[in-house]
Amino acid sequence: MMTAGFAVGAARYRASLLGRRGRCAGGGGAAAGSVPESATVTAGDRRLAIEARNGTGEAGRLPRSYAACGISRLWRMSDAAIRRCAEPDVEAAAALLNLTSAVESRTWWADRLRQPGVHAIVADEGGRVAGAALLGIVPNFRGQLPIGLAVAEAARGRGIGTALARNLAGHAATLPAPDGGIGMVLRDDQAGGLRFAERLGLAPTNHCIGWIIALADAAALRESAAVAAARAGVRLAESTVARDRERLVEATAASVAGMPSDTPMDLAAFAAAMPDDGVLVFADDDEGTAGVALIRPDGAEGGWHTSYTGVAVRARRRGVARALKLGAFAAAAGHGGTTMHSENDERNAPMLALSEAMGMRRGRGYWSLAAKRLTRP
């Protein structure tokens, strides 16, 4: 099957062609209420004259004249204007980009859309934000230029995503080529989104499996965390990102070695992107910091997210990770949290086993994708 675009007056349409050859005159068989207009579709060596019924072909069956021409679907293309994202657009744009996230992240996306230097755009369809995209958000991975792109479900299939992607590709072409290429994160239950990303030249580099757990009473969790910490030979201490951002960078640097990753993390950028109210749980022993867990509210009522859990190489295989996760659960519950979400790289067998052993169940995860440069669709 292939598609071809055409125009009737000022309106643009797209047809799905079943591969028939030759010329077919449009005419009879139009559904009741149709607006008979004629147009010529050219697709390779196929030149087909058809009628454009109300611009969509969504109501009822396609008329016989369409099928005779090998047309299986006809819909009207969007005339949305692509423009810069302004402050009044941020809430709607963040809600759309949140559709690509494994957990509730509207606040995070809104912060990125407002970030100086970000190329943030929307598709304006009659005053409504039908799509949003950005390029240049704070990266987690060194030398990588991240992007985000989303289209409202009701507006998909009409060229809006393609128009946004063309704009991003054009802007990316004006920037110095990033050493780490272009990066994108996409939740793993969006097969259509993955296919679209692959059209832009992006390919999966790794897959993170999602987990979720309902949090127990904070006091009970603190008791369990204390027992696990004693067995691991560590002491747990709670802090905030605002208070200990520098220590977060140091603890992450000591614990990131050996973790599955195809791109080196930019630890300073990672820490800088974390909100001030993010909660840190440190595991300390006589030699210093043995590990750290970073959690934050995810924006949903009672929802919390584990952004990072890491144990220093010297302190591994002692149960420190279990103590940290229980300490993180207790901290979230103490702040009113009712659920905790996390993701683990599917190659990180120890953390996958630990999450399962702690009673977490599988939830929504995400794909990481990358490309040397964006392919203009």
Cα four-point dihedral sign 41, 43, 48, 52: negative
Q: pLDDT tens digit string along 17-30?
A: 444 333 333 333 33
Is 188 in the same domain as 222? no
The chain-wide mean pLDDT, for the chain, equals 81
State the CATH number of the domain containing residue 332.
3.40.630.30
Please check whether residue 211 lies inside any domain of the structure: no
pLDDT > 50? residue 197: yes
Containing domain of residue 24, as a range?
A: 2-76
Pair (321, 255) in one structural domain: yes
Last residue of a domain, one of 44, 76, 108: 76
pLDDT attached to residue 10: 44
Q: Are 345 and 208 in contact (CB under 8 A)?
A: yes
pLDDT band for position 276 (cuts 50, 70, 90): confident
Same domain, 224 and 275: yes
The pairing of strands 145-151 and 182-187 is parallel
Tell me, yes or no, whether 225 and 315 share the same domain: yes
| Phi then psi dihedrals of residue 286, to 5 deg | -65, -15
CB 122 within 8 A of CB 89: yes
Task: Count up the domains in the chain and report the number.
Answer: 3
Structure tokens at 239: 């802090």
pLDDT greater at residue 330 or residue 157: 330
Residue 364 lies in a domain: no
Is 9 within the bounds of a domain?
Answer: yes
CB 247 within 8 A of CB 237: no
* Reported pTM: 0.75
Q: Are residues 41 and 96 in the same domain?
A: no
Parallel, antiparallel or unpaired: strands 339-345 and 303-311: parallel
| 281-340 tens-digit pLDDT | 999 999 999 999 999 998 789 999 999 999 999 999 999 999 999 999 999 999 999 999
Same-domain status, 188 and 173: yes
As given in the structure block, the two tokens for residue 145 are 């230029």
Q: Which residues contact 224 (CB under 8 A, 6 or more apart)?
A: 326, 330
**Residue 183 scores a pLDDT above 60:** yes
Same domain, 236 and 258: yes
**Mean pLDDT to the nearest integer, 200-216:** 95
Does some domain include residue 348?
no
- Same domain assignment for residues 33 and 47: yes
Strand 38-43 and strand 145-151: the pairing is unpaired
Q: Which of 41-55, 67-81, 194-208 has the highest mean pLDDT?
A: 194-208
